[in-house]
Amino acid sequence: MKITSLLLLLCISCVSLFAQDSTLNEYKGLYKFREGSPTPSVDITIENGALYANSSIGSASMKWVSKDTFSIPDHNGMAYFYRSDKGLVNSIKVEVADLVLEGDKQDPALAINRRKRVYYLSK
């Protein structure tokens, strides 16, 4: 009985962890900020089951507040994700102190194609 209970608890934990990661996956990606921004882009990744933002001006962990809203506790900031009409995450707004950055999510397929073109042109 103890083994069955332990296995059940383990399965539930794995399912909830997978569900959280798959939900966070929709936010992952490279977001390009508007021209003139202090940094050209931010790369949103998942580290240790949480979102993490990496840019040329710094990196920070992000904590879930509500759907599409995350706090940036290390910098007393907020990040807001926006969705297209199809419900896909397509842009971000980051507010830290008096800095407001807005950017569009870059299509990974386009980034791969761009890299291939640059690679072939440089040969």
Determine the length of the chain. 123
Q: How many other β-carbons are positioned within 10 Å of the β-carbon of residue 111? A: 12
Domain count, the chain: 1
pTM score, two decimals?
0.71
List the chain pLDDT tens, one digit each, 123 residues: 545 333 434 444 433 343 344 589 999 999 999 999 999 999 999 999 999 999 999 999 999 999 999 999 999 999 999 999 999 999 999 999 999 999 999 986 554 443 333 334 434
- Residue 78's domain spans which residues? 2-121
Cβ neighbours of residue 17 closer than 8 Å, sequence gap 6 or more: 49
- The CATH number for 71's domain is 2.40.128.50
